Amino acid sequence: MVYVKSCETYDRDTVLECIREIFEQYDVLKDISGLNIAVKPNLVCKKVPESAATTHPAVVWAVCKLLKEAGAEVVIAESPSGFYEPGLLKSLYKITGIEKAAKDSGATLNFDTTVTEVENPRGKYLKKIKILTPLAKADKIINIAKLKTHGMMVYTGAVKNLFGSVAGLEKTQYHFQLSDYDEFADCIIDIFLANAPVFNIIDAVVGMHKEGPTAGEPYELKKILASPDAFELDVIATSMIKVDAMRVPVLKRAVERGLAEQNCEKIDAIGDGTVNGQLITVEDFIVKYNDDLTRLHFSDGILGKIMSYSMRPRPVFNKSKCRACNECVNCCPAKVITLENDGKKKFAKVNLKGCIRCYCCQEVCLFKAVKIKKPWLNKIVVRNKNSK
C-alpha cells in the first residue's frame, strides 16, 4: 500500500503535519524509543534546495523531528557523487540546507567516512557489500528520496536512492563493471536490499523533470508519497508522472525478479492524492527514455555495430559553461574525460570511443555544462519505428 499525500508547499508546519499523518497511518513511530535510526536523504551534490536536485530540508527536518520526539537517536547519512570525506560532507550539508534541518530537529550529521561490509543473501550479483557505517550499524533506516528523472536509469526514486549508501568514488566501479543498463539496475536493487530500509518516503512536492537528476527543471507535483515497500512506491510514483515502469531499468528488473508489480492497479494507493482509489496523474512531466536502441534490431556484423554506435545518446560538453572544476574527471568510471586548454581557458573534453554512457558527468556537473543528446539518425529511425 502506498500513501499519496497532497502537500502544497515546503512550509515547515505544513510538511510536518503531512509527515505526521503518514507516520500515523503506518505506525512508524511505534516502539522506536532508544533505537538508532539512520535517515538517508538524496544529497547527490552541492545544490541549493530550490534546484529540486536534492531532498528538501523541510522534509528531512520533519522526519527527524518526529523520530526524535518519539525517543529515537537519529543520524543523517549520505554519500554524494564524488569524494567522500568530512570537509566535503560539511559543505554538502550546509549548501543543501540539511545542516540547519539537523540542528533544528536534534538529529546528528554523519561525518564517519568508514564503510562496513554486510551480508546480502537476496542479492543477485552482490552477496556481500560495503556500505556507509552509520547505515550498516543502524537499528532501522528511513529512506527519503527525491522524485526526479535520470539520464541513465530514466527515473530515480526510493530504490535508486540507496545507491548513495556506497561510499564516494566506489560508485564509479559499479558503473564501470556493470555498464549494461539492466545489469546496473540489478546492482542498484542489490544495494537497496542490503540496506533494507523499514520505511520509504518520496519528496515530490517539487520534483525534477527533463535533464535530471541534477541539470533538469523543477516541476511542482505537490505530493509526498510513502510506503514500507519501496518497489510499490516507485511503481506508483512513475504512474503518477505517466512513465512506463517497464522502460525504467530498475523497475523492469524488479518486476522480472518478482519484487514489484508491473501494473499499478494491483497496488493500493490511498490518501488525498487519489480520487476514489484512482491515482491523480500529471500530463506534462517530461522524461527522456534511454532504451530506444533496445527496441530496434540492426543487422548483425560490422554494419549493425556501426549503426548502433552512431545512434547511441552521448554526453555533449558545453565549453562556455564548463568551469574546469575537475568533478567529471574524478567521477568518470571509464576515465575518458580530460581537462584541455585552448590557450584561452580550461575545459572538460570526453573521448566518446571509451564512453560507457553512464552519464555520471552530467550528474556531478554543478554548472549544467553537460547535456545528453541523441544523434539525428537516432531520432529519425526511432520516429519512423514508432509511427508504424
| 99-119 mean pLDDT | 98
For the chain, how far is it from start to end, CA to CA, in angstroms?
38
Task: Please name the residue that has the C-alpha cell 531499468.
Answer: 249
Digit-coded pLDDT (tens) for 318-373: 999 999 999 999 989 899 999 999 998 999 999 998 888 888 898 899 999 998 88
Q: What are phi and psi of 247, to 5 degrees?
A: -105, 10
Determine the residue type at 289: Y
Domain chopping of the chain, boundaries: 2-279, 293-387
CATH class, domain 2-279, is alpha beta
Q: Are the C-beta atoms of residues 88 and 82 closer than 8 Å to each other?
A: yes
- Residues 344 and 163: their CA atoms lie apart, in Å, by 38
Which H or E element spans position 302?
Answer: helix 302-311
Measuring CA to CA, which residue among 362, 1, 74, 10 is closest to residue 203? 10
The residue with greater pLDDT, 123 or 313, is 123
Do the first three CATH levels of 2-279 and 293-387 match, i.e. the same topology? no
Task: Please name the residue that has the C-alpha cell 537528476.
Answer: 213
Confidence of residue 305 (pLDDT cuts 50, 70, 90): low
- Residues 333 and 9: their CA atoms lie apart, in Å, by 38
What's the pLDDT at 295?
A: 45
Neighbours of 217 (CB within 10 A): 14
Digit-coded pLDDT (tens) for 132-166: 999 999 999 999 999 999 988 999 999 999 999 99
Digit-coded pLDDT (tens) for 286-297: 998 876 544 444
Cα separations in angstroms, 177 against 125, 187, 289: 11, 10, 22
- The architecture (CATH level 2) of 293-387 comes to 2-Layer Sandwich (3.30)
Q: Could you tell me the three cell numbers for 332?
A: 568518470
**Residues in Cβ contact with 243 at an 8 Å cutoff, skipping those fewer than 6 apart:** 154, 155, 285, 287
pLDDT greater than 60 at residue 384: no
| 259-279 mean pLDDT | 88
Confidence of residue 10 (pLDDT cuts 50, 70, 90): very high
What's the pLDDT at 367?
A: 92
117 three-state secondary structure:
strand
Model pTM score:
0.90
Q: Could you tell me the three cell numbers for 58?
A: 523541510
Confidence of residue 385 (pLDDT cuts 50, 70, 90): very low
What's the pLDDT at 388?
A: 47
Confidence of residue 44 (pLDDT cuts 50, 70, 90): very high
Neighbours of 238 (CB within 10 A): 23
Digit-coded pLDDT (tens) for 45-67: 999 999 999 999 999 999 999 99
Please name every residue paired with 315 in a beta bridge, in sequence order, or none if there are none: 372
Average pLDDT, the chain: 91
Q: Are the C-beta atoms of residues 44 and 145 closer than 8 Å to each other?
A: no
What's the pLDDT at 218?
A: 98
CA 148 from centre of chain: 7
pLDDT greater than 90 at residue 258: yes
Digit-coded pLDDT (tens) for 259-268: 999 888 899 9
